[in-house]
Chains A and B, each alone.
Chain A
């Protein structure tokens, strides 16, 4: 049976029971994979499409799915005129629907390589990626590219939706072959949370409801069930982080620091450290509009009052003392270039991260080749490139690695000439600059990414000195940072 008749139970009821946090997921695939049909199906079956919108769809649609008496779902999604004309999804579009269990934000990303930046944009802050492939065609280079981008942007859960399974007669072997090929590829990137689901978006099989007729051999959940069960990242277990957004001083007697906790938890009486000044204080009060609270956790927007007067400004980080973020002048990062103007070395950009904005020099050194998945050396990064860079700051910078805390490890780079957002990036680690001992110029080169103490120990060892002599003989490859 089609999903349409079976979905009655899913029809929204007045008492929504949303105990779970909303799940944000991206959908990737090319035009022909039936992505719009799939999202349309999810919206349609969960009653997120209202009748006047549907009427417009029937009216505007050139080729309705008349056989099933359903509208052309793509029209529901491709909102902008240019897209309707060209029949492609250029920009990222956001859609919302909910079931009794959970609410969802669907981020519909364009597929073409020229829109890699849009896909990367959509992938930020997403909990999960749904990759759509045509069962008749299988895994494409594009599928692999999307997986790589999603993975680099921090997505850990992937669903491979093998669509149009009806067109290959629900062939179990073919499905398993595709699923295996994808798993092998994803595992090679370090992705372990993978589900593959055979679906027919058009017929609604295994999308909302499980199909027991044609695919009795499939034992897993339907797509929607899988989404309902997916995890949302929680950052309550990591160290306290609150980037200060603004200082609130309504009168002489009150001074509060307003911001959103992006890690850990806090309660009155806790000792905290303010970065970069490294001054310490205790939490006196957590103020919100509703009441003075006795605790706040990651995600909460609050106003913190401290027990002493310290000079704190926007961009400072209120952190737990025992688990502090990294502070330094040089960091390694992955970036995605979003602007027609390349990301180039020896130019000052603005970097904005966690309410901090500071000047930065970017030193690109490698870019990924989507065909092979390997990095190759470069000196600049062009539009849609994903690559590795070193960041050099004049003033001290504060980050966690993106892996540990995506709010404290994410940044954007802004071109001060035109204010465009040139790139988005994710911190991988702090890089230690080691002085070239005995060198008579001030050149620095980056040798190691490791804790400073370890680096110093190594630097003072005999082996290092021998190695250093050898290294001096070898021409360096694009890793010199002039300061």
Chain B
């Protein structure tokens, strides 16, 4: 319910247009699909996605569950935050971890980021979607994130094997979405397609949306590895002899698995600081992400395989 939101000034026309578009998409999918699910990654884009879903169905509850693909290697703070949000808003959340993690002891350290990501994220997502028999999965991906995403549709059609064929996408005209699929097929739906990173932050500020505090700068213990600053808080992180923990003012621009999400040096302690920082930033947000760098066109290949 919205009692936590006091009378606030109206959104500017730009954010209002983005919000209206996302709400329309949420309602359209809820009306046309049998088993939608919201992929909730606990990050800032997910926070916005969740907020918009609550708005779309108010005064009703969100008429579908949230799905979190938990690799087991997320920042601890993320899991704590997730559980708090679920409780606060009375959400229906399903957390799923690929059982191979345990049986084969798959870790980002032992298997490398490419194989690890494939098994613990892509494969896990496919398994979870199959188990839940979900026919529509909302995701927080944005077209401005990465070139392979720039051509993504709002309704991204996936075969029964979850595959994405970029050369054979359904044309999307006007704001009329073709939600007709055969049994077993599904769509990934991206209500934030037209948002930029700055839009996300400005919206979080205007709407007072709670986010994980890892996004804000603080002195944190980090260790430098392969050019990335890795948070050294988890006991599973084993330091090499030449590595040492430093305490630096850092924050995270994107959150994922802690060994793969690099911190950036920053003094941005408030939303205003972050907005100012991004506005003048010269490095894109995915720079800190290992998985995009594996090879040229890395994201497109992962998407074809069924990654978000």
Partner of A18, one of B13, B171, B174: B13
Interface positions of A from 143 to 169, Cβ below 8 Å from B: none
B236 lies within 8 A of chain A by Cβ: no
CB atoms of A411 and B275 under 8 A apart: no
Partner of A314, one of B31, B60, B181, B202: B31
Question: A interface, how many residues as a size bin?
Answer: 35 or more
Task: List chain A residues, Cβ under 8 A from B294.
Answer: none
B296 lies within 8 A of chain A by Cβ: yes
Cβ contacts A1-14/B at 8 Å (1 or 0 each): 00000000001111
Cβ distance B307 to chain A, nearest Cβ, rounded Å: 15
How distant is the Cα of A352 from the Cα of B67 in the complex, in angstroms? 30
Given contacts A91-B151, A338-B171, contact A260 B180 (CB under 8 A): no
Cβ contacts B1-29/A at 8 Å (1 or 0 each): 01001011000111011011001100110
Partner of A421, one of B24, B30, B178, B281: B178
A81 lies within 8 A of chain B by Cβ: yes
How many inter-chain residue pairs (CB < 8 Å) link A and B? 178
CB atoms of B171 and A248 under 8 A apart: no
Cβ distance B57 to chain A, nearest Cβ, rounded Å: 7
In the complex, the chain A residue whose C-beta lies closest to that of B297 is A81
Given contacts A246-B31, A288-B55, contact A301 B24 (CB under 8 A): yes
Partner of B174, one of A14, A21, A96, A412: A412
Given contacts A93-B151, A288-B58, contact A407 B175 (CB under 8 A): yes
A424 lies within 8 A of chain B by Cβ: yes
In the complex, the chain A residue whose C-beta lies closest to that of B166 is A80
Task: List chain A residues, Cβ under 8 A from B13.
Answer: 18-22
How distant is the Cα of A160 from the Cα of B7 in the complex, in angstroms? 46
The segment out of A120-128, A133-141, A170-178 that lies at the interface is: A120-128
B280 lies within 8 A of chain A by Cβ: yes
A265 lies within 8 A of chain B by Cβ: no
Cβ distance A474 to chain B, nearest Cβ, rounded Å: 38
A355 lies within 8 A of chain B by Cβ: yes
CB atoms of B24 and A353 under 8 A apart: no
How distant is the Cα of A60 from the Cα of B147 in the complex, in angstroms? 13
Interface positions of A from 98 to 124, Cβ below 8 Å from B: 98, 103, 105, 117-118, 120-121, 124
Task: List chain B residues, Cβ under 8 A from A314.
Answer: 31
Partner of A250, one of B5, B61, B181: B61
Partner of B279, one of A14, A289, A414: A14
The segment out of A46-54, A204-212, A320-328, A460-468 that lies at the interface is: A46-54
Task: List chain A residues, Cβ under 8 A from B175.
Answer: 125, 407
Cβ contacts A380-420/B at 8 Å (1 or 0 each): 00000000000000000000000000110011101010011
Centre residue among B12, B150, B169, B275 by max chain A CB count within 10 A: B150
How distant is the Cα of A91 from the Cα of B174 in the complex, in angstroms? 16
CB atoms of A50 and B284 under 8 A apart: yes
How distant is the Cα of A51 from the Cα of B58 in the complex, in angstroms? 41
CB atoms of A303 and B58 under 8 A apart: yes
Given contacts A14-B275, A353-B176, contact A79 B27 (CB under 8 A): no
B131 lies within 8 A of chain A by Cβ: no
Cβ distance B47 to chain A, nearest Cβ, rounded Å: 15
B113 lies within 8 A of chain A by Cβ: no
Interface positions of A from 227 to 263, Cβ below 8 Å from B: 245-246, 248-250, 254, 256, 258-260
Partner of A13, one of B57, B279, B283, B297: B279
CB atoms of A259 and B287 under 8 A apart: no
Cβ contacts B277-289/A at 8 Å (1 or 0 each): 0011111100100
How distant is the Cα of A78 from the Cα of B146 in the complex, in angstroms? 11
CB atoms of B167 and A90 under 8 A apart: yes
In the complex, the chain B residue whose C-beta lies closest to that of A153 is B173
Q: Which 6 A-B pairs have the closest CB atoms?
A: A79-B147, A50-B284, A424-B173, A301-B23, A250-B60, A14-B276
- A-B CB contact pairs (8 Å), 12 listed: A19-B12, A21-B14, A77-B147, A94-B150, A98-B198, A105-B194, A125-B175, A290-B2, A301-B24, A338-B173, A421-B170, A421-B173
Chain B residues at the A interface, C-beta cutoff of 8 Å: 2, 5, 7-8, 12-14, 16-17, 19-20, 23-24, 27-28, 30-31, 54-61, 143-144, 146-151, 166-167, 169-176, 178, 180-182, 193-194, 196, 198, 202, 272, 275-276, 279-284, 287, 296-297, 300
Interface contacts beyond A290-B2, A299-B17: sample of 7 additional A-B pairs, CB < 8 Å, sorted by A: A18-B14, A248-B59, A254-B59, A260-B24, A287-B58, A288-B55, A352-B176
Chain A residues at the B interface, C-beta cutoff of 8 Å: 11-14, 16, 18-22, 50-53, 60, 76-82, 84, 90-96, 98, 103, 105, 117-118, 120-121, 124-125, 245-246, 248-250, 254, 256, 258-260, 287-291, 299-301, 303, 314, 338, 350, 352-355, 406-407, 410-412, 414, 416, 419-421, 424
